[in-house]
């Protein structure tokens, strides 16, 4: 699946948001890809999941792991497509951890899946938690790479769409200059849309 088709799927499902957004970097942007709005459609999640899984078909992935919450749906669909097990990590006292009785075998081959990679921080933390538990992390994948391919997570990494998101400092932002309020897309409530 090519970047254009991925973006078209976001557009078609209303998941390509246009407005005035504060990215997690603190920079401002006029558009945002909200994966949750794409993945609310199981047929889209399944199609995107299988497109990501294609890239790892020959890697004998035993388990897919994802950081909650963002990675849960897409990770599950990638696991389904690969015929693998699916587990997730979540934060406990600020630290990414395997909870709920999830275990990995020593040397178990694991693929880490996220919805969006920006700096790669939560993917890296998930990889660390899995390695600590004994797993062999063979790769990482995301639907969107907002780092322009720059994020280094220490294992081979793929994304369905690699973007150079145009973003500016608030001091250089046209929308800010017009006095328009910026919102954090991740925290946006439906009543505000």
* CB nearer to Zn ion: pick between 155 and 183: 183
For 1, 83, 97, 122, 130, the CA distances from 94, given in Å and listed in that order, are 35, 31, 9, 11, 16
Question: Binding of Zn ion at residue 138 (CB under 5 A)?
Answer: no
* CB nearer to Zn ion: pick between 21 and 86: 21
Specify whether the CB–CB gap between 85 and 63 falls below 8 A: yes
The mark string for 9-48 relative to Zn ion (x by CB under 5 A, - otherwise) is -------------------x--------------------
Tokens of residue 22, six digits = 């504060």
Q: How far is residue 88's CA from residue 71's CA, in Å, rounded to a whole number?
A: 8
Region of 38-46, 54-62, 128-136, 181-189 interacting with Zn ion (CB under 5 A): 181-189
Region of 61-69, 104-112, 133-141, 182-190 interacting with Zn ion (CB under 5 A): 182-190
DSSP reduced 3-state for 83: coil
**Total length of the chain:** 193
Positions that interact with Zn ion (CB under 5 A):
28, 173, 175-176, 182
């Amino acid at each position: 699946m090519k970047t254009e088709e991925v973006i078209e799927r976001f557009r078609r499902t209303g998941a390509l948001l246009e407005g005035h957004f504060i990215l997690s970097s603190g920079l401002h942007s006029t558009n945002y890809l909200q994966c949750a709005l794409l993945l609310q459609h199981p047929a889209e999640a399944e199609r995107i999941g299988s497109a990501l899984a294609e890239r790892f078909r020959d890697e004998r992935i035993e388990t897919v792991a994802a950081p909650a919450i963002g990675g849960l749906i897409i990770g599950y669909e990638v696991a389904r497509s690969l015929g693998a097990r699916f587990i997730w990590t979540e934060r406990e006292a600020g630290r990414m951890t395997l909870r709920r009785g999830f275990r990995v075998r020593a040397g178990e081959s694991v693929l880490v899946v996220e919805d969006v990679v920006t700096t790669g921080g939560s993917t890296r933390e998930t990889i660390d938690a899995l390695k600590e538990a004994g797993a062999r992390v063979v790769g990482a994948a995301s639907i969107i790479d907002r780092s322009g391919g720059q994020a280094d997570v220490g294992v081979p990494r793929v994304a369905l769409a690699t973007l150079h998101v145009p973003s500016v400092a608030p001091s250089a932002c046209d929308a800010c200059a017009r006095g328009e309020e910026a919102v954090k897309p991740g925290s946006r409530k439906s009543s505000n849309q």
